[in-house]
Structure 1
């Protein structure tokens, strides 16, 4: 603790609020809170973004132009030029001087006092025989204070928080509180896996003595993240093997009539997946299967077969979609296929005027198939005999919503579908014991969508292509950019402005679709577009999934660099759904290398799984899956691609632990039980851990 600073209370523990630490104050506590840090234990988990090697101080006389170095000297002068907003701080070491230059950083000026010492780290520039550093990392030393050397943590910041303040605070807090945290990993597992204890790992992740200690600490903490996630997911999907499920008949008359009515045979990929599902349906254990299929691969046909197997067996089937627009799309598709088979399909949303009538029919069992949104999981919705649950676009649902629908029946068979391609490493981690199936290949007649990246100067070509398509009787989408922020309001404004501009083109019939419209308005616009009463649909990313209009052959995505790869791929999937060639235009002048790489990947790859792996490599797992939407917190240090070996080890250990102790009730697992409970945002459900 540096001189002149108030000593913290001796009674403070890891669970106490950081606001009680001397020098933090209300404002800094609020800014730490914005980063998810409330307690000292939270603060220990605020991992550095990187470390800077300041283990060696280079004498000023030894500096060379262009090198990166850490230097120390006495502050000789502090000069601020208000006209140019430049701060110059000169330090001396003997007769040699160095000038640190800061632009637009008046707040730094208050830290410097002549006679104090300063440590600067940065790139050396030599101009007119003067050594300079521009915006170096800095540490100002009060009289008697020793410099903080070694591998220096560089932390994420929020608001007015300063790097120097966080580093000073962490130097005092981490060594004090890390040893007080219990280690949830049983000693035998820790020794077997060759891992350091957790307190030491936390300390060295913040302040490593050298690179090997940093690597060892990361190895332990990454293993912890994987183990915690694996245990949480496996527990969420725990079903007693003796739990009786429902035996379904996948070869009944409705299934056979439906297959015979299809205008095309199942693709090899669909056939393979359907065979896997048939095996599950015949088995008395409840099915829990994840169905992955690229955009347009024919997942809906597999879902219909699965639901008809339930109806053939005397059960009901429920199909849940994340939004009213998608639910209505699927309802129309199901009606089209099932009406000729005399299978009624109800549509249930929270606002449906016929909801009471439908709920009564579901309870009586007179409605065999229902499509809906989260209204299906409402307490007042009851089924007579729910046999199959199909959940579409799973990444938009939380674990709790999915579980609540399952509880509407006596362990019904569940099919979870997603068009968001998920690399196997992540699917295994997030979906736990769900069996993973993937439809490989596209239905006959589907052509790859040509993808072209255009700069803003070249975007005229995209709209000329739209004009040509419209003249040929085809249709187009234009996806509006995010303007002035990433919120829905800004996106809606962009869509409205874009649509108004396009309406000035003679002969074009322009429609507008965005999330702020009422369900009735959305339905009206989509119906008009389907009936070809509109030529171009200007939309927000509301059309990302589920919208199926075969005559749409062109999509223009403005400011495409603002979207992730998975989202771009979904948007591209809105075209090419008929038998005509289709084109996707990505309009962007990317400002970062990562954005450029995303657009290049879109141009070069059609395969959604390959794109998902690229997205994982570029952006990390959290953003691809929206892990918090699963009810499970994401990774901070771990990367499933980079750390695949540790992921596999952690999953194996998780399985071994739960085989011996399914509810983590053993004394040696008490800390694990509490630790894993925190991995689920609302805790592990009571029916699993009781």
Structure 2
């Protein structure tokens, strides 16, 4: 039967029902899916080594003649041996190939055949042996046989459970022989200088004829991946630019009153960002901007200036936060700042609501709604929604962000993040957003000193240091990776260590908090900590985002080697918010050299952008952002860190295409339109 990209694997020769079941578990059901399952590495089996005289440390490829075949029995075990001679050797060199409990082998391997085999040689008595080698019989009539496993650069695939390397390789090889070039249509804009076509690139990436063709194919298909990613970004931006929004001019009176009420002035960076945002809001095209700023840089204050601009223009504003705690903190801060201006601030979360859904934005008074994901699930369309502010935007996917925006009629959008985004990702994942950066902290903040310490050797010193700090009126966070002790994980927990800290710090007051505690109890504990009633808070990373206690100046992070750099930097941002010098102690337990190197970055730098770049190199963009929500699950060959030239080239190609066809309405671009509308599909790359 003819094979197309849409053909189901169960209908393709070589893919048994057992294999199809295993492949389905990882989302592979069609020919397109399996062709996008690229080799994870290659073995050069194109060169034949001379037969060794001693055991080898690694597998090699050999060619020889079958001298004799023997079937043996040892109790219930049956095995087959084939003795192979090296005809090109001056000495009498032999290797014995051996298979256990595989009776069919004797029907395949016969005396006098020429055979290619691959494996690691070991010694058994006086003989050199390879157990269960990969092999291929060279055709007896002298014709060229299709070498799939040997005598070539051989692909090695990642294997799902229930599938072995050899049959999967053979099935993909046969599939590539039977699929038509016309079914592997070009995705990249045509370029006469391209060194390879798309059909050839797909065949060569799986079964390369040379290392040069393997390199060319990998570059071609990686560029294709980046092009799809960049086209999605450019298309999203084009769609946004074609929306008819509202011009939010305002009088500036509310903003002036608000800024005059503050006991401090905006930093130069904050003022610059406010101007950039106001310029966006004064245009008919909806704003689509990201505000980056390190922990404590004053992003919320900048966002409030945008909110006031929307309210002055007789519109509502929404601020969405990723957690209940952060939403309530924003609600408290905005209520305090805006109440004197006569502006209503309401809270709308799954646990707490100061306004009902029925009355949400129904009255004539323009208000600010602070909420969590619950705002995504209310059914009311928000009339006169002028501004959407999304805090810690990396916690939300593109689709969630768009869903909230769709609640209004092309509102201005401002997303904020305290996790600085490396430039590479700004160009790709967030390329549809304009960027504002707060690159300075407000004056009067105490410095944060960061140290790495061994949790066993320095625990007594850590306890005494914390006692001294509490005696001087300071408070502390003590962070653990787990809620409760685990037999599987060698790490400490909040509940397992809480009683110990109560004893260590007696008579000072300790309390614990984690994600499993009921929200109202969690809120009550946090309020007591803010008021100074609690001296030390033992916690998980639930305090990572948005908790603001200026008097907290000490943080111990236990099992620090288990956390990512960005998360550690976020945690560290909970201290250093007052005028006193703060201390972040990274308590480690037998960290690896890589973990030490990672923590050294945090010890040496407080610059969020330096830390973000290091985190990107260590974890990669997929783990850093979440592959599915960022669209990076389409990158199987491309590397955002090492392939920056390809990223720029893809960006230029996508920009050119969108400039010619902004909404991809041209019939020749319909297949590309399907690609950009289906983020994260396995068949993105085989369209």
Which range, TM-score by smaller chain? 0.7 to 0.9
Aligned to 2:607: 607
Which region of structure 1 is more displaced relative to structure 2, 337-346 or 192-201? Answer: 192-201
Structure 2 residue 432 is matched with structure 1 residue 433: yes
Gaps of 5+ in 1: 1-9, 102-106, 685-690
Counterpart CA distance in 1 for 2:519 and 2:50 is: 70
Counterpart CA distance in 1 for 2:163 and 2:6 is: 22
Aligned to 1:371: 370
Counterpart CA distance in 1 for 2:320 and 2:434 is: 20
Aligned to 2:22: 31
Structure 2 residue 140 is matched with structure 1 residue 151: no
Aligned to 2:118: 120
Q: Cα distance, 1:299 vs. partner?
A: 0.7
Alignment of 1:291-330 (within 5 A): 291-330=291-330
Q: Cα distance, 1:276 vs. partner?
A: 1.2
- Distance 1:38-1:542 versus aligned 2 partners, 3 A rule: farther
Q: Which of 50, 64, 68 is the matching residue for 2:41? A: 50
CA RMSD of aligned residues (A): 3.9
Aligned to 1:583: 583
Aligned to 2:134: 139
Whose radius of gyration is greater, 1 or 2? Answer: 2
Counterpart CA distance in 2 for 1:340 and 1:604 is: 43
Counterpart CA distance in 1 for 2:248 and 2:274 is: 14
- Distance 1:482-1:219 versus aligned 2 partners, 3 A rule: farther
Q: Cα distance, 1:119 vs. partner?
A: 3.2
What SS does the corresponding residue of 1:430 show, helix, strand or coil? Answer: coil
Aligned to 1:400: 399
Deviations 1:649-671 (A, max 9, x none): 21122122122222322232122
Aligned to 1:478: 478
Counterpart CA distance in 2 for 1:603 and 1:471 is: 26
Give the TM-score normalised by the residue count of structure 1. Answer: 0.84
- Distance 1:36-1:458 versus aligned 2 partners, 3 A rule: farther
Aligned to 2:163: 161
Aligned to 2:452: 453
Counterpart CA distance in 1 for 2:409 and 2:240 is: 13
Q: Cα distance, 1:14 vs. partner?
A: 2.6
What SS does the corresponding residue of 1:431 show, helix, strand or coil? Answer: coil
Counterpart CA distance in 2 for 1:603 and 1:233 is: 35
What SS does the corresponding residue of 2:329 show, helix, strand or coil? Answer: helix
Contact 2:80 2:102 in 1 (8 A): no
Q: Cα distance, 1:464 vs. partner?
A: 4.2
Counterpart CA distance in 2 for 1:126 and 1:468 is: 66
Which region of structure 1 is more displaced relative to structure 2, 301-310 or 22-31? Answer: 22-31
What SS does the corresponding residue of 2:290 show, helix, strand or coil? Answer: strand
Q: Cα distance, 1:240 vs. partner?
A: 6.5
Counterpart CA distance in 2 for 1:634 and 1:597 is: 30
Contact 1:364 1:383 in 2 (8 A): no
Counterpart CA distance in 2 for 1:259 and 1:52 is: 66
Q: Cα distance, 1:220 vs. partner?
A: 1.3
Aligned to 2:390: 391
Aligned to 1:41: 32
- Distance 1:422-1:234 versus aligned 2 partners, 3 A rule: same
Aligned to 1:543: 543
- Distance 1:166-1:544 versus aligned 2 partners, 3 A rule: farther
- Distance 1:643-1:631 versus aligned 2 partners, 3 A rule: closer
- Distance 1:137-1:457 versus aligned 2 partners, 3 A rule: farther
- Distance 1:23-1:184 versus aligned 2 partners, 3 A rule: closer
Aligned to 2:561: 561
Structure 2 residue 283 is matched with structure 1 residue 288: no
Contact 1:40 1:177 in 2 (8 A): no
Deviations 1:167-215 (A, max 9, x none): 33333233434736332426xx332562522221111111212221111
Aligned to 2:142: none
Counterpart CA distance in 2 for 1:183 and 1:485 is: 54
Which region of structure 1 is more displaced relative to structure 2, 88-97 or 267-276? Answer: 88-97
Counterpart CA distance in 2 for 1:504 and 1:434 is: 51
Alignment of 1:488-567 (within 5 A): 494-505=493-504, 506-567=506-567
Deviations 1:296-323 (A, max 9, x none): 1111111111111222222221101122
Q: Which of 173, 176, 192 is the matching residue for 2:175? A: 173
Counterpart CA distance in 2 for 1:165 and 1:26 is: 13
Counterpart CA distance in 1 for 2:420 and 2:440 is: 13
Contact 1:529 1:537 in 2 (8 A): yes
Aligned to 2:419: 420
Deviations 1:323-346 (A, max 9, x none): 222211211222222233332211
Alignment of 1:233-382 (within 5 A): 233-239=233-239, 241=241, 243-249=243-249, 252-352=252-352, 354-356=354-356, 359-382=358-381
- Distance 1:296-1:312 versus aligned 2 partners, 3 A rule: same
Q: Cα distance, 1:434 vs. partner?
A: 1.4
Aligned to 1:574: 574
Aligned to 2:232: 232
Aligned to 1:5: none
Structure 2 residue 7 is matched with structure 1 residue 16: yes
Counterpart CA distance in 1 for 2:467 and 2:53 is: 66
Contact 1:250 1:306 in 2 (8 A): no
Q: Cα distance, 1:516 vs. partner?
A: 2.5
Aligned to 1:678: 678
Gaps of 5+ in 2: 87-91, 110-114, 140-144
What SS does the corresponding residue of 2:586 show, helix, strand or coil? Answer: strand
Counterpart CA distance in 2 for 1:100 and 1:454 is: 54
Counterpart CA distance in 1 for 2:22 and 2:509 is: 49
Counterpart CA distance in 2 for 1:420 and 1:438 is: 12
Q: Which of 28, 47, 50 is the matching residue for 1:59? A: 50
Q: Cα distance, 1:393 vs. partner?
A: 1.1
Deviations 1:19-54 (A, max 9, x none): 444564454334323333222211111122222222
Counterpart CA distance in 2 for 1:551 and 1:621 is: 35
What SS does the corresponding residue of 1:237 show, helix, strand or coil? Answer: helix
Contact 2:10 2:17 in 1 (8 A): yes
Contact 1:248 1:282 in 2 (8 A): yes
Deviations 1:386-411 (A, max 9, x none): 22111111111122222232233332
Counterpart CA distance in 2 for 1:193 and 1:119 is: 40
What SS does the corresponding residue of 1:362 show, helix, strand or coil? Answer: coil
Q: Cα distance, 1:585 vs. partner?
A: 2.5
Contact 2:387 2:412 in 1 (8 A): yes
Counterpart CA distance in 1 for 2:561 and 2:491 is: 18
- Distance 1:121-1:399 versus aligned 2 partners, 3 A rule: same
What SS does the corresponding residue of 1:411 show, helix, strand or coil? Answer: coil
Counterpart CA distance in 1 for 2:494 and 2:57 is: 48
Contact 2:288 2:413 in 1 (8 A): yes
Contact 1:78 1:109 in 2 (8 A): no
- Distance 1:680-1:207 versus aligned 2 partners, 3 A rule: closer
Counterpart CA distance in 1 for 2:609 and 2:166 is: 43
- Distance 1:172-1:494 versus aligned 2 partners, 3 A rule: farther
